[in-house]
């Protein structure tokens, strides 16, 4: 009630003074109540303190909220979410199949060009199209959740495939005739590249070292 009876503006103050029969005195700098400001230190953190804390966290590379320190994906309430790949194993295998299919096609053309043979485009396209389903199955198995449970087993399998495919590719390139090389080099080379891509760096280096040792031991040539 007191707030409702208190005049809120100049007009209400003038009306209240008129009802009381008192002269109306407008508020001026002369009759305003004077008081010293509060010179004591702030009781809590100031904006400057908060900005300094955020700057220090950014300098250390840490998030503002401690619940995100583990790097896990969380929802708005902070619950851990299971991260899934954007396109899944099937989409991943599809993308890899198209890319490796283009690699197979390129290798087939390069082999024809190396032996200065007339490029048979129809045969090359047919062989590439025949290879695509095989590449899809292999890449899907390598990218599946089932094999992801045993990462060491996956690395060992890819290491074995890379070592055998690389050594065999070096062998046929130095031993077989041009017709056999044209038939076998594109699929073997594509499988070799896929195995190296799927391996981690230590296994990939070890696999290529095996191929290099095989090349040196038998005295074969790369070109």
* Cα three-residue angle 33-37-39, rounded to 5 degrees: 160
pLDDT computed for residue 136 by the predictor = 92
pLDDT computed for residue 26 by the predictor = 65
Give me the DSSP letters along 43-59.
SS--HHHHHHHHHHHHH
- On whether the CB atoms of residues 68 and 75 are closer than 8 A, the answer is no
- On whether the CB atoms of residues 171 and 189 are closer than 8 A, the answer is no
pLDDT computed for residue 207 by the predictor = 92
pLDDT computed for residue 185 by the predictor = 87
pLDDT computed for residue 1 by the predictor = 45
| Interaxial angle between packed helices 151-175 and 201-218, expressed in degrees from 0 to 180 and rounded to the nearest 10 | 30
pLDDT computed for residue 19 by the predictor = 79
Q: How many Å apart are CA 94 and CA 161, to the nearest integer?
A: 21
Grouped pLDDT means (10 residues each) for the chain, 223 residues: 62 78 65 71 79 77 52 55 64 89 90 78 90 90 80 90 91 82 86 90 92 89 67
The DSSP H or E segment spanning 5 is helix 2-5
> CB 48: neighbour CB atoms within 10 A?
9
pLDDT computed for residue 165 by the predictor = 92
Contacts of 103 (CB under 8 A, 6+ apart): 189, 190, 193
3-state secondary structure of 86: coil
Q: How many Å apart are CA 79 and CA 133, to the nearest integer?
A: 40
3-state secondary structure of 116: coil
- On whether the CB atoms of residues 74 and 68 are closer than 8 A, the answer is yes
> CB 169: neighbour CB atoms within 10 A?
18
pLDDT computed for residue 30 by the predictor = 59
């Amino acid at each position: 009630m007191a707030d409702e009876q208190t005049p809120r503006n100049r007009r209400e103050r003038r009306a209240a003074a008129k009802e009381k029969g008192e002269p109306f005195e407008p508020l001026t700098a002369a009759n305003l109540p004077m008081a010293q400001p509060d010179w004591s230190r702030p009781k809590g953190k100031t904006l400057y303190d908060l900005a300094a804390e955020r700057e220090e966290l950014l300098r250390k590379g840490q998030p503002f909220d401690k619940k995100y320190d583990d790097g896990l994906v969380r929802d708005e309430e902070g619950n851990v979410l299971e991260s899934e790949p954007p396109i899944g194993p099937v989409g991943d295998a599809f993308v890899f199949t198209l890319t490796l299919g283009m690699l197979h096609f390129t290798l087939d053309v390069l082999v024809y060009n190396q032996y200065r043979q007339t490029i048979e485009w129809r045969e090359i396209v047919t062989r590439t199209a025949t290879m695509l389903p095989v590449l899809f199955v292999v890449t899907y198995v390598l990218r599946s959740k089932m094999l992801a449970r045993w990462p060491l087993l996956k690395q060992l399998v890819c290491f074995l495939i890379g070592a055998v495919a690389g050594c065999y590719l070096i062998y046929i390139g130095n031993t077989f005739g041009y017709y056999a090389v044209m038939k076998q080099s594109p699929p073997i080379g594509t499988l070799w590249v896929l195995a190296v891509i799927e391996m981690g760096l230590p296994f990939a280096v070890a696999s290529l070292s095996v191929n290099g040792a095989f090349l040196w031991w038998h005295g074969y040539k790369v070109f």
